[in-house]
Amino acid sequence: MNSAFYLGIDVGTQSLTAILVEAPRSEGDGEDRAEGIASRVGVHYDTELPRYGTVNGQLPNEDPAIGRAPPCMWLEALDLAFRKLGSGACREISGVSVSGQQHGSVYLRPGAEALQSLTPKQSLAEQIEPILARPEAPIWTDSSTTRECEEIRRELGGPHTVAELTGSDTFERFTGPQIRRFARTEPEAWARTAHVCLVSSFVTSVLAGRLAAIDHGDGSGMNLLDVRRLKWSEAAMAATATGLRRRLPPTCAPWTVVGPIAPYFVSRYGLPASAKVVAGSGDNPCSLVGVGVREPGEAVLSLGTSDTYFGLLKDVAVDPEANGHVFIAPSGHPMSLICFRNGSLAREAVRDRYGLDWPGFDAALRATPAGNDGMMMLPWFEPEIVPRVARPHVHRLGGLRDEPEQAARNCRAVVEGQFLSMRLNSRWMATQPRRLVATGGGSRNRELLQIAADVLDCRVESLEVTDGAALGAALRATGQRLPPLPPVGERGPAAEPRPEASAIYDAMMPRYAEAQRRAAG
Ligand code: XUL
């Protein structure tokens, strides 16, 4: 038999999704495709695991700068996902890989050997909780480390030097600044930390029953990896925290097999003992694989909790404005990425503000003209990553007001504002893509895709499966450097740019850029 079943697990911000695909076992000519999706299960943290008290997958905090989630919740979601998959599906699994929300970090005490001998009689959360050095993990929504970003940046020689070295200037959510803040504010907890993991490498470690290396893809979101030499940078580690070097696992290529599945999953869920665990990676690198983007000239628009825009690069080329990132893609090539924190939650905030449901929101988009007659929004409902905005504030311009009579105008303004910002702030990526593939929950929405196509002046396609990250992880679980392409399924909605609408957005860009410059400083 030359095909087998592979499981991808995406530990996302709001939910955990697992997808089982049937795909060719061995690397072919690079044009192989997965046959189909055999199963898909999801666990929504807030509603299915309410005892953790999360809101949108995050622990509530009075300070909007603090973004944290409990690692035990992810473990409980993992157990629940395997239960939902059922023993029939689990018996078929040949390989597993993880996609994780990027940048988040998990801190372990000494005693990680315990991962190898977990008993199937108790849950993962019960058994792993005692080895957590910190009960909460800072996640990508955290923006509390401005001071640490400044300190590391200064020590390494300025934003451009940090970006040339690690692929990005220091960013609040990146793991290095988060580690520095933890070591400064909780020195005792730092002292009892033996290992620092990322979300992807933590869940991979649990699956493999041993501490997993951090792959180059997720490692490049830490301000610690030398993105050209693909090694931890001594200078960046020294600028981050004392004793960091011995707490970091090795790095590895994204297609590395970490080991066989841990006995816990064999006894408890019936996975074959021979099932292999492939290194986990970040959700954005995994999505590249999940939507089948393999060449520079194609880009991905991921419309999830965060909105991200990314594509492959020929060579490492950093953003001179220091807003964007260079990560390592699952194939080992560099990829460019820009991340907007105010993604789906900002769209939902507007929808809810005017008492609409999604069909009502779409109807509002259809009822209003491209360009919104000059009404614009800078949609910073939460602190924003790009441009850097510490205090949430929604700016309404050109006569737009926050009142029920303007509900439809506000719906259009939030979406147009998001894509205008994407266009403005992704200019450094230089190449105008031939094709954009959308993924994430928002990629179901035809009206949203039409606005994206018009603003970005590019055809936007989507796939039937919106979980590009989980699907990408499943394809990566084959352990191939160029994993199979996603299965040919039903296509999702697509949109062609309309010249008359694109011309309106061309004309709007300078006004938007000026508004952003004034508001963000
Ligand atoms: C990317 C980023 C987010 C997270 C969560 O840099 O911070 O996209 O990966 O999805």
Sequence-ordered list of residues with C-beta below 8 angstroms from that of 499, at least 6 positions apart, any chain: none
Average pLDDT value for residue range 304-320: 92
Average pLDDT value for residue range 283-290: 97
**363 within some domain:** yes
pTM, full prediction: 0.96
Average pLDDT value for residue range 200-209: 98
As a whole number of angstroms, the distance between CA 103 and CA 228 comes to 19
Amino acid identity, position 53: G
The pLDDT of residue 314: 87
**332 within some domain:** yes
Q: pLDDT tens digits for 439-466?
A: 999 999 999 999 999 999 999 999 988 9
- For atom 9 of ligand 1, the residue with the nearest CA is 102
- For atom 10 of ligand 1, the residue with the nearest CA is 101
Q: Are residues 62 and 152 in the same domain?
A: yes
Cα of 498 from ligand 1 centre, angstroms: 30
**192 within some domain:** yes
Q: Give the whole-number percent of the chain exceeding pLDDT 70.
A: 99
Which of 256, 285, 314 is the endpoint of a domain? 285
- For atom 6 of ligand 1, the residue with the nearest CA is 339
The closest-lying atom of ligand 1 relative to the alpha carbon of residue 305 is: 10
Q: Residue 1 pLDDT more than 60?
A: no
Q: Are residues 8 and 39 in the same domain?
A: yes
- For atom 8 of ligand 1, the residue with the nearest CA is 306
Q: Are residues 56 and 122 in the same domain?
A: yes
Number of neighbouring beta carbons within 10 Å of residue 487: 19
Cα of 4 from ligand 1 centre, angstroms: 30
**479 within some domain:** no
Average pLDDT value for residue range 97-124: 96
Q: Are residues 44 and 67 in the same domain?
A: yes
Confidence of residue 433 (pLDDT cuts 50, 70, 90): confident
Q: Is any atom of ligand 1 closer than 6 Å to the C-beta of 308?
A: yes
Which of 285, 303, 338 is the endpoint of a domain? 285
- For atom 7 of ligand 1, the residue with the nearest CA is 140
Q: Is any atom of ligand 1 closer than 6 Å to the C-beta of 103?
A: yes
Which of 261, 285, 309 is the endpoint of a domain? 285
Q: Are residues 437 and 514 in the same domain?
A: yes
Tell me, rounded to whole angstroms, the distance of Cα 42 from its chain centroid: 17
Q: pLDDT tens digits for 348-407?
A: 999 999 999 999 999 999 999 999 999 999 999 999 999 999 999 999 999 999 999 999
Q: Residue 188 pLDDT more than 60?
A: yes
**484 within some domain:** no
List phi, psi (to 5°) of 520: -90, -20
CA torsion angle 139 144 147 152 (round to 10): 10
Q: Are residues 130 and 206 in the same domain?
A: yes
Query: Which one has a higher pLDDT value, 237 or 26?
Result: 237
Q: Are residues 262 and 339 in the same domain?
A: no
Q: Residue 78 pLDDT more than 60?
A: yes
If one residue of 13, 17, 98, 102 were mutated to test the ligand 1 pocket, choosing by the most ligand atoms within 8 A of its CB, it would be: 102
Sequence-ordered list of residues with C-beta below 8 angstroms from that of 51, at least 6 positions apart, any chain: none
Q: Based on the structure, what is the number of domains in the chain? A: 2
Structural domain that includes position 368: 292-464+489-521
Q: pLDDT tens digits for 45-58?
A: 999 999 999 999 99
**470 within some domain:** no
H or E segment and range at residue 335: strand 334-340
H or E segment and range at residue 331: none
Q: Are residues 88 and 156 in the same domain?
A: yes
Q: Is any atom of ligand 1 closer than 6 Å to the C-beta of 341?
A: no
Q: Are residues 269 and 305 in the same domain?
A: no
Average predicted confidence (pLDDT) for the chain = 96
Q: Residue 189 pLDDT more than 70?
A: yes
Q: Are residues 153 and 18 in the same domain?
A: yes
Q: Is any atom of ligand 1 closer than 6 Å to the C-beta of 102?
A: yes
Average pLDDT value for residue range 501-514: 97
Query: Which one has a higher pLDDT value, 31 or 325?
Result: 325
The pLDDT of residue 454: 98
Cα of 339 from ligand 1 centre, angstroms: 6
The pLDDT of residue 2: 86
The pLDDT of residue 430: 65
Q: Residue 519 pLDDT more than 60?
A: yes
The pLDDT of residue 471: 97
Q: Is any atom of ligand 1 closer than 6 Å to the C-beta of 339?
A: yes
**473 within some domain:** no
Q: Residue 431 pLDDT more than 70?
A: no
Q: Are residues 73 and 183 in the same domain?
A: yes
Backbone conformation region of residue 479, classed left if phi is above 0, alpha if psi is from -120 to 50, else beta: left
Amino acid identity, position 96: V
Cα of 306 from ligand 1 centre, angstroms: 6
Q: Is any atom of ligand 1 closer than 6 Å to the C-beta of 13?
A: yes
CATH number at residue 519: 3.30.420.40
Sequence-ordered list of residues with C-beta below 8 angstroms from that of 248, at least 6 positions apart, any chain: 196, 214, 224, 232, 237
Q: Is any atom of ligand 1 closer than 6 Å to the C-beta of 283?
A: yes
Q: Are residues 267 and 297 in the same domain?
A: no
Q: Is any atom of ligand 1 closer than 6 Å to the C-beta of 323?
A: no
Cα of 358 from ligand 1 centre, angstroms: 24
